[in-house]
Amino acid sequence: MVSEFHSLSEKIAQLAELAQSLRRENAELRLSAAAMATENADLSKRMQEASRRISALLEKMPVPEKDQEAA
């Protein structure tokens, strides 16, 4: 009977250790996800700005004569 309690006690200790490990991993993953979301938002802003700047440059480009006749 004592060995059964000892075995159960060890299993409970292992379970508690696993639960704590999973809590730490979860916290790390939440931080990582938040950092990635911030980076994603920054990259999205940069892409929008690049797209806006490219559109502005394209509008400033002269239209070739061949295309002007078709228009």
Model pLDDT for residues 1-16, shown as the tens digit of each residue: 889 999 999 999 999 9
Q: What are the pLDDT digits (tens) for 35-67?
A: 999 999 999 999 999 999 999 999 999 888 876
- Whether 68 has a pLDDT exceeding 90, the answer reads no
Q: What is the DSSP string of 7-68?
A: HHHHHHHHHHHHHHHHHHHHHHHHHHHHHHHHHHHHHHHHHHHHHHHHHHHHHHSPPPHHHH
- Whether 71 has a pLDDT exceeding 90, the answer reads no
Q: What is the pLDDT of residue 63?
A: 85
Q: Where does the pLDDT of residue 19 fall: very low under 50, low under 70, confident under 90, or very high at 90 and above?
A: very high
